[in-house]
């Protein structure tokens, strides 16, 4: 670090390191450099105030505030899972686990908005988790929430894979293994990362893992789980397309019901029958593959969004750590000295020296984009997991309560009992009773409603979707369609 003054005091805006104790806060976060053997000068804390523009703090606060509506959306989903029946909410433990993980992640950005923590232990030293309770909580929530989110996405991809590709049925063992893996693994990495790596104020209002050992204890595993989830999801999607392509090309499947099996073509009648059977097999394969893809598209998009966000955020974090290491290398000392000299000559006006600070920081747009992505992932997840049936369920629930209370009491007449007409108690409406219009075939009866599985519930989605077994119902349906088409052609 260059200076035009060789006295025992540092020029503005730098501060003398010997004037501050060497204990307390995150000492490795100081930006100091020796000027003479007796003098070491440090840049005031926080460092981001000197290497980024004046609008950087405002943009980070805007990005943090986006976590508030994201948290409200996740709480709405969790309350819907608890209050509404399963056929309305599509409740599943994989969805619940992901929502809770995102709540933890969003809280790590919301806590600084309320606590407004002081990021500096003293004028040159940033705080760490031992000197700031807010730092400890935000850092722990960030690590636990991000790791838990990636872990539950991995579990969703894994369960979809074994259900679609291996036809594995759901058992209570899967539930308990998912809970142990989904919450035990983030807790384990948190217990390892905090004592070894620690967290401190390094960028923004929430604490980040320190560079020392962060890749081994947290960041590397985060990327590994995210990439593994992406690979499993791509394999599952590729398997569905492979099943269709195999039937499209006319290859028979082992253990099939004989729809696409090869037969002798010695006579025209046999050849015609074989051709029709092949067409039925292709249409049947396409129906099943398209059914799986339509039921799984939300999970696929959700997995890809969380994976891309995790990889991007992790890459930005790694690049930020690497930029600090690069700035400390001897080959970059000249550029650091030029930036320091610029600050001295301009009286601490950082705006005149920002082009020279590129070696000490990442691009401001990249950092802000990562914060917005981390904030918006909750809103994107809500948009993919919310279902129209949830809104219908809430409307029915609230309407039923209003009708039961009425304007003057529980039954609308100020008393607690049933309404009486001409001395006889009124008959209550039975949901199981069919109306005259239902008997005439005009309206469907409630008992006749079919329970159609939808996206968002991995277990129920796949109970009626099997790629291996040729169900007789699907085969007969395809044969009937084929006969209708043949009759139309004959006419």
Tell me the average pLDDT across 288-313.
76
Compute the distance between CA of residue 341 and CA of residue 5 in angstroms, rounded to an integer: 11
pLDDT computed for residue 48 by the predictor: 87
pLDDT computed for residue 71 by the predictor: 96
To which H or E segment does residue 179 belong? helix 172-196
What one-character-per-residue DSSP string does 370-382 give?
Answer: HHHHHHHHHHHHH
Q: How confident is the model at residue 207 (pLDDT cuts 50, 70, 90)?
A: very high
Backbone angles phi, psi at 425, to 5 degrees: -65, 140
Compute the distance between CA of residue 155 and CA of residue 303 in angstroms, rounded to an integer: 10
Query: Of 320-324, 341-345, 450-454, where does mean pLDDT reach its minimum?
Result: 450-454
More confident residue, 405 or 185: 185
Tell me the average pLDDT across 61-70.
94
Residue 468 has pLDDT above 80, yes or no: no
Residue 136 has pLDDT above 90, yes or no: yes
Name the region of 423 (left: φ>0; alpha: ψ -120 to 50; beta: rest). left
* pTM attached to this predicted model: 0.76
Q: What is the pLDDT of residues 9-25, one digit of tens each?
A: 888 889 999 999 988 89
Residue 92 has pLDDT above 60, yes or no: yes
pLDDT computed for residue 331 by the predictor: 54
CATH number at residue 174: 1.20.1070.10
Answer whether residue 487 is part of any domain. no
Paired tokens of 474: 């699907």
Q: How confident is the model at residue 469 (pLDDT cuts 50, 70, 90)?
A: very low
What one-character-per-residue DSSP string does 422-451 give?
Answer: TTEEPPPPPTTSPPHHHHTTSS--GGG---
Q: What is the pLDDT of residues 212-232, one digit of tens each?
A: 888 899 888 998 998 899 899
Q: Is the bond preceding residue 391 a cis peptide, omega within 30 degrees?
A: no
Domain count of the chain?
1
Q: How confident is the model at residue 158 (pLDDT cuts 50, 70, 90)?
A: very high
Q: What percent of the chain has pLDDT over 70?
A: 70
Answer whether residue 289 is part of any domain. yes
Do 428 and 418 touch, CB atoms closer than 8 A? Answer: yes
Answer whether residue 433 is part of any domain. no
Answer whether residue 486 is part of any domain. no
pLDDT computed for residue 477 by the predictor: 52
Do 129 and 194 touch, CB atoms closer than 8 A? Answer: yes
Compute the distance between CA of residue 426 and CA of residue 423 in angstroms, rounded to an integer: 9
Answer whether residue 298 is part of any domain. yes
Residue 426 has pLDDT above 50, yes or no: no
Cα-trace Rg, the chain: 32
Residue 481 has pLDDT above 70, yes or no: no
Paired tokens of 241: 């397309």
Q: How many CB atoms lie within 10 A of CB 35?
A: 22
Answer whether residue 327 is part of any domain. yes
Q: How confident is the model at residue 328 (pLDDT cuts 50, 70, 90)?
A: low
Answer whether residue 398 is part of any domain. no
Residue 177 has pLDDT above 50, yes or no: yes
Answer whether residue 308 is part of any domain. yes
Residue whose C-alpha is closest to residue 112's, from 53, 44, 63: 63
Q: Is 196 exposed, middle or buried (0-12, 13-18, 19+ CB in 10 A)?
A: middle
According to DSSP, the β-strands at 32-36 and 199-200 are unpaired
Do 74 and 102 touch, CB atoms closer than 8 A? Answer: yes
Instruction: Give me the residue label for tokens 């995210």.
Output: 226
Compute the distance between CA of residue 486 and CA of residue 482 in angstroms, rounded to an integer: 6
Tell me the average pLDDT across 172-191.
95
Q: How confident is the model at residue 302 (pLDDT cuts 50, 70, 90)?
A: confident
Compute the distance between CA of residue 128 and CA of residue 136 in angstroms, rounded to an integer: 7
Residue 417 has pLDDT above 60, yes or no: no
Tell me the average pLDDT across 137-147.
94
Give the residue numbers spanning the domain of 178. Answer: 48-83+91-386
């Amino acid at each position: 670090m260059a200076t035009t003054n060789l006295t025992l005091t540092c020029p503005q805006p730098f501060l003398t390191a010997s004037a501050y104790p060497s204990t307390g806060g995150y000492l490795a976060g100081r930006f100091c450099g020796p000027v003479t053997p007796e003098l070491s000068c440090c840049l005031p804390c926080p460092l981001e105030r000197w290497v980024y523009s004046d609008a950087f703090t405002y943009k980070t606060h805007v990005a943090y505030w986006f976590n508030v509506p994201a948290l409200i959306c996740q709480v709405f989903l969790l309350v819907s899972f608890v209050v509404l029946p399963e056929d309305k909410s599509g409740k599943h433990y994989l969805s619940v686990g992901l929502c809770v993980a995102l709540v933890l992640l969003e809280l790590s950005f919301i806590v600084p908005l309320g606590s407004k923590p002081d990021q500096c232990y003293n004028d040159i030293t940033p705080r760490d988790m031992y000197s700031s309770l807010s730092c400890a909580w935000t850092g722990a929530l960030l690590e636990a929430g991000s790791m838990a989110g990636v872990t539950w996405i991995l579990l969703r991809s894994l369960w979809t894979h074994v259900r679609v590709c291996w036809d594995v049925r759901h058992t209570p063992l899967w539930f308990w293994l998912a809970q142990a893996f989904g919450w035990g693994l983030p807790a384990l990495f948190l217990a390892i990362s905090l004592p070894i790596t620690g967290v401190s104020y390094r960028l923004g209002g929430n604490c980040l893992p320190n560079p020392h050992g962060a890749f081994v204890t947290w960041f590397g595993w985060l990327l590994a789980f995210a990439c593994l989830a992406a690979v499993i999801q791509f394999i599952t999607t590729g398997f569905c397309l492979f099943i269709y392509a195999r039937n499209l090309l006319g290859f028979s499947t082992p253990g099939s019901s004989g729809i696409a099996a090869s037969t002798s073509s010695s006579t025209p009648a046999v050849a015609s029958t074989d051709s029709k059977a092949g067409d039925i097999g292709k249409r049947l394969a396409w129906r099943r593959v398209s059914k799986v893809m339509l039921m799984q598209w939300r999970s696929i998009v959700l997995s890809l969004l969380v994976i891309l966000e995790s990889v991007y955020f992790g890459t930005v974090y790694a690049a930020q750590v690497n930029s600090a290491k690069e700035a400390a290398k001897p080959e970059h000392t000249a550029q650091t000295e030029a930036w320091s000299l610029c600050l001295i000559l301009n009286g601490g006006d950082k705006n005149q020296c920002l082009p020279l600070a590129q070696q000490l920081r990442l691009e401001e747009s990249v950092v802000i984009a990562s914060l917005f992505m981390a904030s918006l992932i909750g809103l994107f997840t809500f948009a993919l997991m919310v279902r129209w049936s949830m809104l219908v369920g809430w409307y029915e629930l609230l309407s039923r309560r209003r009708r039961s209370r009425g304007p003057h009491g529980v039954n609308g007449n100020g008393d607690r009992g049933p309404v009486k007409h001409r001395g006889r108690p009124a008959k209550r409406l039975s949901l199981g009773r069919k109306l005259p219009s239902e008997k005439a075939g005009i309206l469907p009866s409630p008992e006749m409603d079919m329970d159609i599985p939808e996206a968002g519930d991995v277990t129920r989605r796949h109970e009626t979707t099997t790629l291996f077994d040729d169900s007789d119902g699907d085969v007969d349906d395809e044969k009937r369609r084929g006969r209708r088409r043949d009759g139309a052609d004959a006419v």
